[in-house]
Amino acid sequence: MSRARADEEEYWHSSKFRAFTFDDEDDELSQLKESKRAVNSLRDIVDDDDDDLERVSWSGEPVGSISWSIKETASSSTSSLEGRDSSLQKGSSSYAAFPKQVSSYSLSSLFKGELCLFLSALSDTGVKNYAPELRRPKAEYKDYSSDWSPKDTVRRMQRGKVCSLERFRSLQDKLVLLDEAVAGHDGNVITAVLIFLKRTLRREILFRELEVRQVALCHLIHFLKETGEQKLLLDLLRLCFFYLSLQLSQYREHLNIQDVEKRREFLKGCIGLPFSAEDTSHIQDHYTLLERQIIIEANDRHLETAGQSEIFRKYPRKASILNMPLVTTLFYSCFYHYTEAEGTFSSPTNLKKTFKIPDKQYVLTALAARAKLRAWDDVDALFTTKNWLGYTKKKAPIGFHRVVEILQRNNAPVQVLQEYVRLVEDVETRLNLATKYKCHDVVIETYRDLKDRIQLTAYKCKVERGSAEEEKINSILNNVVRN
């Protein structure tokens, strides 16, 4: 039992490794530290590009001397093979391969030799077949190439790719690039292209091209405001104001053209002027309206001359429709062509749809035209709507108080006025209109609904004696007394 215990103690206290001591300077740990320091200072010691420094081997002899070269050559063939065999067969650690005595190798030759052994080992084991060289995709090499079109360049910029704009050297290529950027609707890309154009184009050329590119112009103005380039911003605004004044002067020239066909052709040419999008839309509407007026005028003149239309015989035209404003043209159409189908150029609904006339403006104009003709049925149909259940009710987008005023100006009968005065929702406004236009029935009914006996009695004095209105008031008062 004691022997087994002694064997166990010997097993646990014995070791084939030596204990660490501070006095042992030649142990493997010291060699490891020395090798680590040598590797860390490799760039400072081994520098092939620095010819001014003198290289010294570990033995103290200058690198490149005759004695160093003889020792290097004599030991290179034997040490490399022995080191390779020992490392592959014994499988020892990397630092155990270093000799303990002071070597005559230089640091550069030492690491070059180890590198050659490592590469030769890789070539023998065929590691390259399992770990091929990793390369970037070929598409990545095109980031800085010069074969991207303006459209592709803008598309890559939208995705955050780095693209060089320096390849676009001609003015045409730069303008195509700008147009593609504007078409992409990306403000960052538009601004980036504008910065490139501002740097590579003369100011006069840049301003001239931006004159017809309003979106890019607005982006540049905003960019100059943000960056505080006041001088360039003021020059740009002055030039924009000058061009705008020049365009407006050219547009005003149509007023001096008397011939209608020539004026129409002139307006057609004004559409291409570099106005803003809103102003260009107005000029387009002006041209379309004049073109429509020419067609209506020719047709109505023929009908009036031939006497084939009753409305032209009863209400002869007092002036030509040519060069009239849009509202006047709509009134003319509602007066002479109200019942025409939408497919004709002279139809009011066609004009409303073509020029996007608001409902309020259309109702006001149509009401004035039909009231002037005393077409009360058309007035009634103008405000009558039908819900999804089939019930009808009257609705006015302009308010029934304005309807009453327009009807009164066109001498509408009291019965028609009273019908629309009753539709006014505000009680005070309804009473004022009814009193003003002598709609007695509406006043009496309103006071009755309010149960205002005093006002009803006072209003009795304003109606004629013995009239139907007086009898109606007396009947209401008597019923109130009985109740």
Q: What is the pLDDT of residue 483?
A: 46
Q: What is the pLDDT of residue 29?
A: 53
pLDDT, one tens digit per residue, over 87-102 is 444 444 444 444 444 4
Specify the pTM. 0.53
In a domain, 185, yes or no: yes
Return the percentage of the chain with pLDDT > 70, whole number. Answer: 67
Cβ 217 vs Cβ 210: under 8 Å = yes
**How many domains does the chain divide into?**
4
3-class SS at 326?
helix
* Cα–Cα distance, 191 to 218 (Å, whole number): 10
User: Which amino acid does the sequence have at 278?
Assistant: E
Of the candidates 316, 366, 357, 317, the one whose C-alpha atom is nearest the C-alpha of residue 338 is: 366
Lowest mean pLDDT segment, chosen from 26-40, 258-272, 446-460: 26-40
> Whole domain around residue 240: which residue ranges?
150-255
Higher-confidence residue of 29 and 429: namely 429
Residue carrying structure tokens 């592959």: 88
Whether residue 175 is found in the same domain as residue 211 = yes
The secondary element (H helix, E strand) that includes residue 103 is none
Whether residue 186 is found in the same domain as residue 281 = no
* Cα–Cα distance, 216 to 209 (Å, whole number): 10
Q: What is the pLDDT of residue 130?
A: 41
Whether residue 297 is found in the same domain as residue 208 = no
Lowest mean pLDDT segment, chosen from 228-237, 330-339, 459-468: 228-237
In a domain, 309, yes or no: yes
Number of H helices, E strands in the chain: 24, 2
Lowest mean pLDDT segment, chosen from 32-46, 64-78, 281-295, 379-393: 64-78
Whether residue 217 is found in the same domain as residue 202 = yes
Q: Rounded mean pLDDT of 291-299? A: 94
Most confident region among 151-155, 212-216, 327-331 by mean pLDDT: 327-331
Q: What is the pLDDT of residue 16?
A: 54
Name the burial class of residue 317, with classes exposed (0-12), middle (13-18) and buried (19+) by CB atoms within 10 angstroms of its CB. Answer: middle
In a domain, 94, yes or no: no
The distance of Cα 109 from the centroid of its chain, to the nearest Å, equals 64
Higher-confidence residue of 85 and 432: namely 432
Query: Last residue of some domain: 239, 255, 271?
Result: 255
On the question of pLDDT at 187 being above 90, the answer is no
Whether residue 263 is found in the same domain as residue 246 = no
In a domain, 351, yes or no: yes
CA-based R_g, the chain, Å: 51
End-to-end CA distance of the chain: 133
Whether residue 335 is found in the same domain as residue 417 = no
Q: What is the pLDDT of residue 233?
A: 79
In a domain, 453, yes or no: yes
The secondary element (H helix, E strand) that includes residue 385 is strand 384-386
Whether residue 249 is found in the same domain as residue 272 = no
DSSP string across 229-298:
-HHHHHHHHHHHHHHHHHHHHHHHGGGG--SHHHHHHHHHHHTTS---HHHHHHHHHHHHHHHHHHHHHH
Backbone angles phi, psi at 384, to 5 degrees: -90, 125
Token pair, residue 215, equals 């979106």
Q: Rounded mean pLDDT of 159-188? A: 86
Cβ 456 vs Cβ 476: under 8 Å = yes
Token pair, residue 463, equals 């109606």
Lowest mean pLDDT segment, chosen from 93-97, 281-285, 382-386, 470-474: 93-97
Q: What is the pLDDT of residue 343?
A: 87
Whether residue 195 is found in the same domain as residue 261 = no
Lowest mean pLDDT segment, chosen from 271-285, 399-413, 424-438: 271-285
